[in-house]
Amino acid sequence: MAALVRLVIPAGGTVAFFALAWTTVRVIRPKEPRKFFLVYALALLPLAAWLSTRLWPVVLVDDAVLLAAELLLQLLACFTIWNSFYSILWGFSGSLMHDLVTDPAVRHRERLIASYEAGEGGVDRMMARRLPNLVRGGWIDYERRTLTIRPKGRWIAMGTMAAYKVFSLGMGGGVK
């Protein structure tokens, strides 16, 4: 029970992360919020470690294990907020459900597909948001409507393919 009381530290760190992330996205409106999220998640760790060791000094291995668990749980909670932000609010299924709830006109498979096929710059909505990020990140080249993978992208693709095989995920990418 005493060990569980220590969870108040990661809980506080998580609340602070959410407040910082929310303020940043609403006020600064950065193009890439994930960079801010990374800085906040990492910066809150030493703060949590300092506070925790003031309350519960590390004397035995038990204390070190509990401190490591606290910090990892805080990082996990921050990452859960981060991942929810991108996967649910920006993700494909979340976007579909958002469209279906807010726009009754697309509550038909063909009309919904048509609304996604009409993108910008000659590509569909699915590609329109991702292509610029892939090019800007140096993962691919995009010229004359042809995408070419770059060495950096090749490594990521190989790692992803390995994960597909190791965890029997089929071809991933959200397609079942």
Partner 1 sequence: MWMSVLLAAVVIGIAQAAAVALVSATRPGRNIYAIVIGVVLVMAPLVFFAGDAIVRTPLTTGGRAGVVLLHCAIGGFLFHFMTLPDRSVTLRILVELWRAPNGALSIEALDARYGVRGMIESRLRQLQDGDCLVMAPDGALVLTPRGERFGRIVAAGRRLFRIESAN
Binders of partner 1 among residues 64 to 83 (CB under 8 A) are 64-66, 68-70, 72-73, 75-76, 79-80, 83
Among candidates 161, 25, 165, 30, which has minimal Cα distance to 84?
25
Residues 6-45 close enough to bind partner 1 by CB under 8 A:
7, 22, 25-26, 29
Residues 106-125 close enough to bind partner 1 by CB under 8 A:
107-110, 112-113, 116-117, 122-125
Q: Are the CB atoms for 64 and 58 separated by under 8 Å? A: yes
Name the minimum Å distance from CB 132 to partner 1.
Answer: 12
Give me the amino acid identity at 131: L
Query: Given candidates 34, 35, 98, 136, which one binds partner 1 under the rule CB under 8 A?
Result: 98
| 54 versus 144: smaller Cβ distance to partner 1 | 144
Q: Quick check: 4 binds partner 1 (CB under 8 A)? A: yes
Q: How far apart are CA 154 and CA 133, in angstroms?
A: 16
| 54 versus 109: smaller Cβ distance to partner 1 | 109
User: What DSSP string runs through 25-80?
Assistant: IIII--S-HHHHHHHHHHHHHHHHHHHHHHHS---SHHHHHHHHHHHHHHHHHHHH
Residues 131-160 close enough to bind partner 1 by CB under 8 A:
133-134, 139-140, 145-149, 153-154, 156-158, 160
Encoded tokens for 36: 């801010």
Name the minimum Å distance from CB 44 to partner 1.
Answer: 15
Give me the amino acid identity at 107: R
